[in-house]
Amino acid sequence: MRLRSPYDIIRLLKPPRGFRLTVAGRIFFAFLTIIILIALATGNNLLYLVLAGMLAFMIVSGIESEMNLRHLELDRVLPAEVHAGIPATVTYLLKNPRNRSHRLTINDLAPVRIMDLQADQTHSAGTDITFGARGVHRLPDITISTTYPYGLFEKSITFDAAGQIVVFPRPLMFSHRQGEGARDTGSSKATDSISHVRPYSPGDPLSSVVWKKQHLGSISRVFEGGSGMSTLVVLTPGPDMETKLSQATYVIDELHRSGLAFGLVLNTYSSGMDHSREHKIRILTRLSQATEILQPSWQDIPPHGHVISI
């Protein structure tokens, strides 16, 4: 192995397992020390026999705990979208292809306990994580620890899983009518007319549901005009940037759910128009990393079309 930096040397010298005494382990080693001292002072053969038994007990515990951790395979599955202040489920896929494992604790963003892992079976466990602020958050390495079998000490193994996750702004309800119309006129004079119908999607307004056709399955009307056109979301300066970013996130979510093309103008950034999920993720990523909101260039915004100014 070629060592290129001091960090490579530290990583090479780092022990493959973490080790920490539990409360029971401290008591055990206290008795072990006392017996060693008394046995050496008195030469009592019975005490040497007890000492040998305790040492054997400790060795067996170390071997069992090592077998409990060896060959583990771990994968962390992150949700596609994570919003600030909203719990998101992180899933862990754990497998031991050779041995059966017991009393495992996954230490990551939050501890996850697995009491029994069958050999060569993938166990799925999840936990809810809440990020308090938008932006890029660092993900640490993952450590799996165990106190199996006798609880004398906690042994752990570390998986290289460091990375980052982009946390989007928390959606905040915003009425589209507050900013509809070209160039933020404050109203939309386009007349809504039914373009077509499509299967109902969760989140569609109840007013758009065609209740008389329930035998066909739940369907929703899709309007054209003021609310059925491709929509451009434009952010303008204001006193509360976080509120504006949250409102823009809500609007983008609603537009994507409706199946219409949408876009974003933020400072000098223009996303273009699309309706795909990838397009939505790119826009939300831009919103999550915004540091300021400047006055947009209205010359770059089409004079005709549906604009929501926030």
What is the domain partition of the chain in residue ranges?
Answer: 16-167, 176-190+225-309
Query: What are 248's two structure tokens?
Result: 């823009």
Tens digits of per-residue pLDDT, 251-306?
A: 999 999 888 889 999 988 888 889 899 999 999 999 999 999 988 876 656 655 68
User: For the chain, what's the residue count?
Assistant: 310
Report the distance separating Cα 131 and Cα 79, nearest Å. Answer: 13
Q: Say if residues 179 and 235 touch (Cβ distance below 8 Å).
A: no
Which pTM does this prediction carry?
A: 0.73
Say if residue 232 is exposed, middle or buried (CB neighbours under 10 Å; 0-12, 13-18, 19+): buried
Tens digits of per-residue pLDDT, 93-122?
A: 999 999 999 999 999 988 999 999 999 999
> Residue 211: its pLDDT value, please?
46
CATH class of the domain comprising 16-167: mainly beta
Report the distance separating Cα 234 and Cα 190, nearest Å. Answer: 19
> Residue 9: its pLDDT value, please?
59
Percent above pLDDT 70 for the chain: 75
Tens digits of per-residue pLDDT, 144-162?
A: 999 999 999 999 999 988 8
